[in-house]
Amino acid sequence: MIVLAGTDLDGTFFNNQSRISDYNRQAVRDWVQSGRDFAICSGRSLPTVSQLFSHDLRVPGYKVCLNGGIVYDKDDQPIMRRPLDNAVVLAAFHVAKHYLARIVFFAEHHAVSYTPGIMGRVRGNWHNGETIKITREDDLVRMLTVDHVQFYKFTFNGIFGNGFSFALAMKKIAALPIHLSRSNRFFYEANAPHTTKASALHTIATTTGRSMANFMCFGDYENDLEMIRDVGYGVAMANAIPKIKAVARLQTVDHDDDGVGKMLHAVLAGKIQ
């Protein structure tokens, strides 16, 4: 029996308007009403994911945030954290500055960004969800060593007109001790080594005494690959990239055609065992 369904958001659970459709919303409610668990597995942080559960879906569920960097239970309590090493954070910042790339570091409740040519200053509250802009290494060092901020993910992308420089930068980034993936063609995401949506689901399986063989997960892009590959029922969206379709056990229709909800209803109807 499939006991848990987990889904990515963009290109998967969200439609083209970046919203949860009425059909998908009702399908998740039917799923949870049947006694099964539901998880959102996203690169986003807790405030966004938790609000989707409480204000939109209105069901309890597990939250795999920051691509597996932090996993929360149904009560928003963390059950696993995998922060990036401070030395990796500083090394990635050096690469961004040298090659004029944009980098954003994600802590639990806020983000810190560096964009070439954009002046910034450290300000505000660590817990109000804002993005803090920095330009100097000293600011980042102070966050890590004085404020003891832990970062769980960073994103890395080029700016217009620096394609060659960005390619050189990516070689440096890829050499760091990180897990590197993409959420679209020109947008890279990095986590601590061996930290993926799949590792997060393994934590949920261990915590609940269940097997990932009885999990069904949905995805469309590279940062979903391990999750789709490692669960018993990996489902690729019709709009998924070939890499995802290659490792998926099943395929559903497009994200803008309620692909997640239709597959959940197929399971509930006994069409998929």
- For the chain, give the mean pLDDT: 94
- Indicate where the chain has its CATH 3.30.1240.10 domain(s): 86-191
User: What is the CATH number that goes with domain 86-191?
Assistant: 3.30.1240.10
pLDDT of residue 123: 43
**Residue 161 above 80 pLDDT?**
no
pTM metric for this prediction: 0.93
Q: What percent of the chain has pLDDT over 90?
A: 88
pLDDT of residue 127: 43
pLDDT of residue 128: 46
> DSSP string spanning 13-81?
IB-TTSSB-HHHHHHHHHHHHTT-EEEEE-SS-HHHHHHIIIIII-S--EEEEGGGTEEE-TTS-EEEE
pLDDT tens figures, 112-150: 999 987 654 444 444 446 789 999 999 999 999 999 999
Instruction: Give residue 23's identity as a one-letter amino acid code.
Output: Y
- More reliable by pLDDT, 163 or 128: 163
pLDDT of residue 129: 60
Protein fold of 4-81+195-268 = Rossmann fold (3.40.50)
Burial class (CB in 10 A: 0-12, 13-18, 19+), 263: buried
Task: Specify the range with the lowest mean pLDDT, choosing from 20-29, 126-135, 173-182, 264-273.
Answer: 126-135
Q: What percent of the chain has pLDDT over 70?
A: 95
**Residue 91 above 80 pLDDT?**
yes
- Indicate where the chain has its CATH 3.40.50.1000 domain(s): 4-81+195-268
**Residue 195 above 60 pLDDT?**
yes
pLDDT of residue 185: 72
pLDDT tens figures, 235-272: 999 999 999 999 999 999 999 999 999 999 999 999 99
pLDDT of residue 119: 55
Summarize the confidence of residues 153-161 as an average pLDDT: 87
**Residue 206 above 90 pLDDT?**
yes
**Residue 174 above 80 pLDDT?**
yes
Query: CB atoms < 10 A from the CB of 160, how many?
Result: 5
